[in-house]
Amino acid sequence: MTSIDPDFGWHLQAGRYITAHGIPSHDIFTYTARAFHWIDHEWGNDVIVSWLYGWGGYGLLAVVFAGLWSLALFIVGSRARILVLLLAVAAMLPYAGIRPITWTVLLLALLLKFVSYRYTRTIWLIPLLFMVWANLHAGFIVGLAVLAYYAAKKRQKNLAMILALSTLATFVNPYGPRLYVEIARTTFDGSLHYQIAEWAIFYVPMAVAAFVFLWGATFWLLRRKKLSNWLDIGPIFFAAAMSATRNIPLFVIATINDLDIFYEEIKDQLPKKNEFLRKIAVRLFALGITGWLAYVFVTSLIPWPQPYAFYPVKAVAYLQAHPCDGHIFNDYNYGGYLIWQLPSQPVYIDGRMPSWRNSSGQKYFDIYNNVIVNKATRVNQFATYNIRCVLLSRNGFNNQLLNNLELSGWHVAIRTSKSELLIET
């Protein structure tokens, strides 16, 4: 957990608002989408985050969520050999953090454990699991798909009944069946795959590469010839992981035991005529993986974790001392941080909104991008919302706008290597 998730701030503030006032019926954080019917499908997580933060700050949250990620791996990988378990830990590192998807990772691990039990009584706890899941994170829809898969594969009437009960259990939330509206809005928005980093297609971070490559290579060597193996849970989650990088932790949870089994089968297939060479080959492979793991873990900790390094700390401190005389046009990735640090100042956009549309059917995220690249859109939006301050990250996409504003007379209040705050004079 080397940095604070861009959405952490709004989750924290949403939890505080819900605790004090109840579930909001409309957006409460922006000045652009006040009329939007916001469905906070992570409201339970938000309340828990706000409670834990109130009790022990970010440090307590980090400890608790690290424990949840670890517990998920323990549930599904408690019998896996240490090398495979460490590969799974490394694969989780780029995604682990104080994020709502933590609950989906944990509850998916529990679901996979439940459906693997031979005792029928245990699986009747599954609807209760989904009732909790639906109030923590929209990833419960993945769980329903997994449950449907096993009900069809095992052809068991009790699993089909549990699937029906579990689906009904997901309606027990503040929004009822409307919760599925938000899920559909995101699921069927294909543009997310090239607009938002966590939805990127075929993106595998280096820390994940060994786990993905070894699972893929050993599956190809050992399982490819049988068609039914391609319809197993592992390949399905592999396809999901390649369709959006945010699904990689779920792939790891679903396949850690596969990789452990594959490792043992490969080792058993090595020639046994020369036991000495066989042992050398196994140990050299283990040594190579260990060296790679050491590199991943060390580079994840050096430089030492700097939670706020990503954020415009100096610019926000300036705005706290000198409030903007109007509204702020903010970077998409800064929205959550501003909601947290400047709660009295509504934002232009934040991480909840990539699939939201206004009353005209336009996506707020598309309008945001057009403000940056299109002068006419910028002039219209700045006039409509009385935008007097601009806070953006410094990168190739934003720099032209920042330069143009400065040339047109806007004052550079704060400029760092990563962000810039301009104020209209």
Question: In DSSP terms, which residues pair with 393 in a beta bridge?
Answer: 419
* pLDDT tens per residue across span 195-237: 898 999 999 988 888 899 999 999 999 999 999 999 999 999 9
Single out the residue of 117, 107, 172 nearest to residue 139, CA to CA.
107
Q: Is 99 among the domain residues? A: no
How many angstroms separate the CA atoms of 292 and 206, rounded? 10
Q: Is 414 among the domain residues? A: yes
How many angstroms separate the CA atoms of 393 and 298, rounded? 28
Q: Is 350 among the domain residues? A: yes
Instruction: Measure Cα distances from 156 to 112, 120, 128, 150, 159 in Å.
Output: 16, 11, 19, 9, 5
Contact 256, 84 (CB under 8 A): yes
Q: Is 361 among the domain residues? A: yes
Average pLDDT, stretch 51-57? 96
Q: Is 372 among the domain residues? A: yes
Q: Is 146 among the domain residues? A: yes
For 95-106, give the DSSP string.
T-SS-THHHHHH
Top mean-pLDDT range of 2-16, 171-185, 298-312? 171-185
Single out the residue of 366, 371, 365 nearest to residue 350, CA to CA.
365
Residue at a domain's end among 188, 207, 232: 188
Q: Is 200 among the domain residues? A: no
* pLDDT tens per residue across span 357-416: 999 999 999 999 999 999 999 999 999 999 999 999 999 899 999 999 999 999 999 999
**Domain carrying residue 161:** 116-188
How many angstroms separate the CA atoms of 163 and 150, rounded? 10
Residue at a domain's end among 165, 188, 211: 188
Percentage of residues in the chain with pLDDT exceeding 70?
90
What integer pLDDT is reported at residue 4 of this predicted model? 79
Average pLDDT, stretch 158-164? 93
* pLDDT tens per residue across span 317-372: 999 999 999 999 999 999 999 999 999 999 999 999 999 999 999 999 999 999 99
Both tokens of 15, joined, read: 């939890």
What integer pLDDT is reported at residue 18 of this predicted model? 98
Top mean-pLDDT range of 101-110, 203-212, 225-234, 281-290? 101-110
Torsion of CA 371, 368, 98, 186, to 10 degrees: -160
Residue at a domain's end among 124, 155, 188: 188
Q: How far is CA 402 from the centre of its chain?
A: 30
Q: Is 167 among the domain residues? A: yes
Residue type, position 11, single letter: H
State yes or no: pLDDT of 312 exceeds 70: yes
| DSSP assignment letter at 328 | E
Domains of the chain: total? 2
What is this structure's pTM? 0.92
Question: In DSSP terms, which residues pair with 390 in a beta bridge?
Answer: 329, 422
How many angstroms separate the CA atoms of 195 and 190, rounded? 9
